[in-house]
Structure 1
Amino acid sequence: MAVVVSISGSPSARSRTARLLRHLDARLAAEGHEVLPLDVRTLPAEALMGADTGHPAIRAAAALIERADGVVIATPVYKAAYSGVLKALLDLLPQFALAGKTVLPLATGGSIAHVLAIDYALRPVLSSMGATHVVQGWFTLDRHISVREDGSVALAPEAADGLDPVVRQFSAALGGRAVLAAAG
């Protein structure tokens, strides 16, 4: 199947955004995709803030994305936009780092007022980076993501019901890309 890079743009190690993303990683892996996680918060701050595109960690992140057929990008929404750490990484990637990729944007936030952040803040950047296909994104309210004692994620029905078709669409688009890649 396809190689998927799963990028968490959350600055927090214990964020609902990252946990939701890792929940989706498991689902995509169960569907046969190879999932490679990338937590932007683990990249060196001096490289991100100093715009050091030559730093080994930034080069490794770019190489990981280059290898992918698909990219899932998840971010918390702060002040109606995606996170600053995610912005820092996207700024350091090559202009067309997403060329030929299928991309699934995901966002989490505390208020439904942030639901359009995917379409008005994140989607234009992903498109400008050459994404071949940016599938329908999904916004999940923080309160609809629960973390169980074992660390697993439970989604409220309204979140799970909406997220399911979005993930299916992404997986189907990846399946088509894998067929094209094998033929090429």
Structure 2
Amino acid sequence: MTTVTIIAGGHKIDSRLTGILQYTADFLEKEKVEVHVIQVHQLPSNALITADFMNQEIMEARQKVEQSEGVIVLSPVFQASYSGIIKTFLDLLPQKSLRNKTVLPLMLGGSYAHLLVMDYALKPVLANLGATNMLTGAYVTDNQITKQDNQSYLLDEDSETRITSQLKQLLEGM
């Protein structure tokens, strides 16, 4: 079975980033893909900050990335860049850990003012980790995601279309 790991770099579960995460995981599961989700903020903070490579939870998260054919890096925009939370985890991955994997960056921002953050901030870091099969990615703004009463999220048609297109490319590239 094909495996994809989603590395989510938000700072809480109850956010619009979760809307993208839910949509992505649901789409992949319908395509019979095994999905692993790493919510970086739920990993032990001391292990992340001190780069404790021997921490059991860190080792398990790294192993999920290692064993996946595809990796999705999902981050909100903070200070015109990707989140520091995602960076702390990416720093714990071996230097060429994304080699021979299809990598899909997905980002959530407050406006289109930071649209290029994916190309100028996140993608160079992913390339440094060995990502050579990197997809264009999708950038979604906060106003394209609505939180529902049942704690789920609804993506607007445009963002759904763009994310779906990238997810199909991810599946073709693996």
Asked if TM exceeds 0.5, the reply is yes
Distance 2:15 2:152 in 1: 12
- Give 1:7 shift: 1.1
> Match of 2:64?
64
Is 1:93–2:78 an aligned residue pair? no
Aligned residues: 174
Distance 1:43 1:22 in 2: 19
Distance 2:28 2:172 in 1: 11
> Match of 1:39?
39
Distance 1:122 1:61 in 2: 20
Greater fraction of residues in helix:
1
Distance 1:118 1:92 in 2: 20
Q: Give SS of 1:77's match.
A: strand
Unaligned runs of 5+ in 1: 175-184
Unaligned runs of 5+ in 2: none
Distance 1:160 1:4 in 2: 19
- Give 1:173 shift: 1.2
- Write the mapping of 1:8-47 to structure 2, written as runs, cut at 5 A: 8-47=8-47
RMSD: 1.1
Identity %: 37
For 2:152, the aligned partner's letter is S
> Match of 1:177?
none
- Give 1:57 shift: 1.3
Distance 2:26 2:151 in 1: 13
> Match of 1:159?
159
